[in-house]
Amino acid sequence: MFGRRLVDKYSIPIGLMNVNYGGSSVEAWSSPEILAKCNSSTFGTYDNTAIIIKSDSSNGDSRNENLQSALWNAMIYPLLNTTIHGVIWYQGERNTIYRTDVYNCTFPAMIKGWREEWFKATSGQTSRSFPFGFVQLASLGKNIIISNIEPLFPLIRWKQTAEYGYVPNEKQRNVFMAVAYDLPDGASPLGSIHPRDKETVAERLFLGAQNIAYNTSTYWTGPIFYEAIFSEDKIRVKFRSVGSSGIQVRSKGGFEVRLFGNKTWIPLQISGLINDTVIITYANTLKVTSIRYNWKKEPCLYKKCAIYSNQNHLPSPPFIATFHQTE
């Protein structure tokens, strides 16, 4: 679907190499040299011990997380002497239960490593900064139960962006992303984690590719969180990259705040919209320290999350942030 859109748009033949292995970790796709750059003692702050996933439609088994570098050796290394012009990537689910804490390092490191290895193996015919697009994780359906810790999927979504909340960024240059968490599909034969609406996924990747790979002015990001300001009884959440016609609110939920000295997240609802700023009314004088958006494994109904752009109808990615406090 992605390749067909490129052909229809640019009338240039597109060759696609499909390299897949279900239920795989990012470590399996990375060379030993890449993995050596990411040590759990220095990257990440999340402890994901004692996590159990149960599912009637599991996409993996207990194969020691595919063995580190096994898929790199078997499926990527043999292709390095083939000139390529870009990559689209759909992975991350397995890392919600395996080395979650360092995915903010391992994923950007893999991208950088692939680019460098392909550049060298093709004597510079493959760009050392070729475009790399990825799909941010889709919803995790009700038929899959995560024990102990709820936010594993939103955590990986966050770490897919190297904890910036958006791409491209300083650690992921020339990278684009398709948000997919607003496409839940509990009736899918493989569960909501594999939504059948790949047309929307392909379209969102295609928009990003037009901008990043083909240097057009195509709008592709969706509204990006800019800042949150707490004043009196209101929280103002401002967005940037809103497109040519601003943002729309499709539902009122999705936002949560945390108070000083309290680890509990309190859900709040949207009460208004002024230009590119969402207004949330909160009648509590206690100090609010943090805010997050759509920090759920399945945050909303189909295309009914709260914040979308009017242009191209793109959802805002999830985020977590601290407040700018005003008196």
Does residue 132 belong to any structural domain of this protein?
yes
pLDDT for the residue numbered 234: 87
Name the phi and psi angles at 322, rounded to 5.
-95, 160
Same domain membership, residue 108 and residue 67 = yes
CB 5 within 8 A of CB 202: yes
Q: Whole-angstrom Cα distance, residue 67 to residue 89? A: 19
Domain end (from 161, 178, 212): 212
Q: Whole-angstrom Cα distance, residue 218 to residue 241? A: 12
Same domain membership, residue 230 and residue 206 = no
Q: Whole-angstrom Cα distance, residue 230 to residue 256? A: 13
Same domain membership, residue 158 and residue 59 = yes
Same domain membership, residue 136 and residue 90 = yes
Same domain membership, residue 179 and residue 32 = yes
Does residue 219 belong to any structural domain of this protein?
no
Does residue 218 belong to any structural domain of this protein?
no
Same domain membership, residue 120 and residue 258 = no
Same domain membership, residue 191 and residue 246 = no
pLDDT for the residue numbered 263: 85
Does residue 9 belong to any structural domain of this protein?
yes
Q: What string of DSSP letters covers 46-96?
A: ----S--EEETT-S--SSGGG-TTHHIIIIIGGGTTS----EEE---SGGG
Same domain membership, residue 229 and residue 207 = no
Q: Whole-angstrom Cα distance, residue 5 to residue 49? A: 42
pLDDT for the residue numbered 152: 87
CATH of the domain at 57: 3.40.50
Domain end (from 177, 212, 247): 212
Residue 306 DSSP label: S
Does residue 245 belong to any structural domain of this protein?
yes
Torsion sign over Cα 193, 197, 198, 202: negative
Q: Whole-angstrom Cα distance, residue 191 to residue 36? A: 34
Q: What string of DSSP letters covers 119-147?
A: HHHTTTSS-TT--EEEEPP----TTEEE-
Does residue 163 belong to any structural domain of this protein?
yes
pLDDT for the residue numbered 181: 95
In whole angstroms, how large is the CA radius of gyration of the chain? 20
Same domain membership, residue 126 and residue 195 = yes
Which residue numbers in the chain have pLDDT < 50? 40-60, 62, 149, 327
Print the domain residue range for 273: 224-325
Does residue 148 belong to any structural domain of this protein?
yes
| CA triple 120-123-129, angle to 5 deg | 60
Same domain membership, residue 208 and residue 306 = no
Same domain membership, residue 26 and residue 142 = yes
Burial (CB count <10 Å: 0-12, 13-18, 19+), residue 276:
middle
CATH of the domain at 246: 2.60.40.1220
- How many structural domains comprise the chain? 2
Torsion sign over Cα 300, 301, 305, 309: positive
Q: Tell me the HSE value of 112 on the side-chain side, using a 13 A CA sphere.
A: 16
Same domain membership, residue 238 and residue 188 = no
Question: Which of helix, strand or coil describes residue 98?
Answer: coil
Name the phi and psi angles at 111, rounded to 5.
-60, -50
Does residue 166 belong to any structural domain of this protein?
yes
284 Cβ neighbours under 8 A, 6+ residues apart: 259
CB 293 within 8 A of CB 315: no
| Tens digit of each residue's pLDDT (9 = 90 or more) over 24-63 | 999 999 999 999 999 743 333 333 322 222 222 334 464 5
Burial (CB count <10 Å: 0-12, 13-18, 19+), residue 18:
exposed
Gap between the terminal Cα atoms of the chain: 51
CB 179 within 8 A of CB 319: no
Domain end (from 151, 184, 212): 212
